[in-house]
Amino acid sequence: MTNPLLELKKYGQSVWYDDLNRKLIVTGALQRMVDEDGVSGGTSNPSIFEKAISGTDAYDEHLRRLVDEGRGLPEIYDELTTTDVRMSTDVFRPIYDETQGADGFASLEVSPLIANNTQASIEAAQRLFGKLDRPNAMIKIPGTPEGLPAIEQCLANGLNINITLLFGVENYEQVAWAYISALEKRWAAGKPIDRIASVASFFVSRVDTLTDKKLEEKIAKASNDKERDQLKSLLGKAAIANAKIAYAKYKEIFSGTRWKVLADAGARVQRCLWASTSTKNPDYRDVMYAEGLIGPDTINTMPQSTLDAFREHGVVAPTLEKDVDEAFATIQRLEDAGISFKTVTDELQVEGVRLFSESFAKANDSIKQKRDALVAAGARG
């Protein structure tokens, strides 16, 4: 039988794995995904590291060495996470080389605690990119108002940047233009732009989760069946519609005059990356966010559950550029129903930073507990 995951490449979409961790790499499971499922990149975030560090013993030996060296908590976190991502980039390096820098990346996020601090984000990104020391490493910076100038500066400095926690189309436009401005600065300074890589990570399922919650509140208060049915027809429709509109904006921006000058100089487009593509609502099809957003120059980052489900029963077709007018109409119907979509997406970004910050704190707590246990055992010994 044909593996649907492999079929996605025919439509210009890459599959990245949304759960990079030490155990996956050392057991060879990540390499098997590359060989069997066509996985060509991967991402990490504080939530992923928190679960990996607290839930397995895969980091214990490395942690023990760092404790013996007298490293502090911030250094230990950096060493554990950069090692994971560096090892991942080495798995993906053949893909990076074969595609001449178009694919084969692994991403590491700056601390979410500095998501609203421009200069701290720049400094952290530079430090982590240097520490990773791989051409196919990407640094993730949230697309917050304070993150935008950091993103542009880091790209202009020659870093590969994955812009994370994008929800709104307006925010996406700002990110795309920041990428173009950064490349223009490099080109004007006589610096190479052909190997600068960037992706705009658009979070998908969370949009439906929050929008559906607001719709359900309105459905409960609806005064008649017609109004109730109209509201129900919008459930589970916002996220894919929002992503399709963002992609339409991507096509517009990356076909314009400013971009053509850079493309002629060898620049690559900033690909749209669909993140948070696991289906949260059990009433919805488990691969809806994978099947509904298939199109050229895109990436879908799948967690294990979505990867397995799509391998088993995913339907592959060029869906991303279909029914775009209906996508615009869906968002308009939400606005007409009294749901401000900008309020939804702004709320989601703030919430995303908060959740990642909590995971970052939990990951450091897990490290501290393991460190303290090792120190106590050493004292007893």
Known catalytic residues are 140
**The tokens 């719709």 sit on which residue?**
215
Structure tokens at 225: 């069946």
157, 127 Cβ separation under 8 angstroms: no
Bridge partners, residue 16, by sequence: 301
